[in-house]
Amino acid sequence: MYFVANWKMFGDLRTLNSLDKVIKFSKTNKKNKFRIIYCPPSTLIRPLSKRLKKTKIEVGAQNCHHSYDFGANTGQVNSRMLKSVGAKYVIIGHSENRQLGEDDKLINLKIKSAIKSKLKVIFCIGETLGEKRKKRTNKVLAKQIYNGLKSVKNTSNIIIAYEPVWSIGTGIIPKANDLLNSISYIKSKFRKKTPKVLYGGSVNNKNIDQLKDINIIDGFLIGGASQSSKKFIDIIKKTFN
Ligand code: 13P
pLDDT in tens, 204-228: 999 999 999 999 999 999 999 999 9
| Residue 173 alpha carbon to ligand 1 centre in Å | 11
Query: pLDDT, tens digit, for every residue of 71-108?
Result: 999 999 999 999 999 999 999 999 999 999 999 999 99
CA of residue 175 to ligand 1 center, whole Å = 17
What number does the ligand 1 atom closest to the CA of 226 have? 2
Terminal C-alpha separation, the chain = 13
Task: Give tens-digit pLDDT for 129-182.
Answer: 999 999 999 999 999 999 999 999 999 999 999 999 999 999 999 999 999 999
Ligand 1 pocket member 115 (CB < 6 A) = no
Q: How far is the CA of 71 from the centre of ligand 1 (A)?
A: 31
121 strand-pairing partners: 90, 158
The pLDDT of residue 15 is 96
**pLDDT exceeds cutoff 90 at 192:** no
Q: Residue 30: pLDDT above 90? A: no
Residues 6+ apart with CB under 8 A from 194: 187
Nearest CA to ligand 1 atom 7: 223
What average pLDDT does range 124-133 have in this prediction? 98
Atom of ligand 1 nearest to the CA of 95: 8
Distances (CA, A) of 115 to 17, 35, 222, 237: 31, 20, 23, 32
pLDDT of residue 56: 96
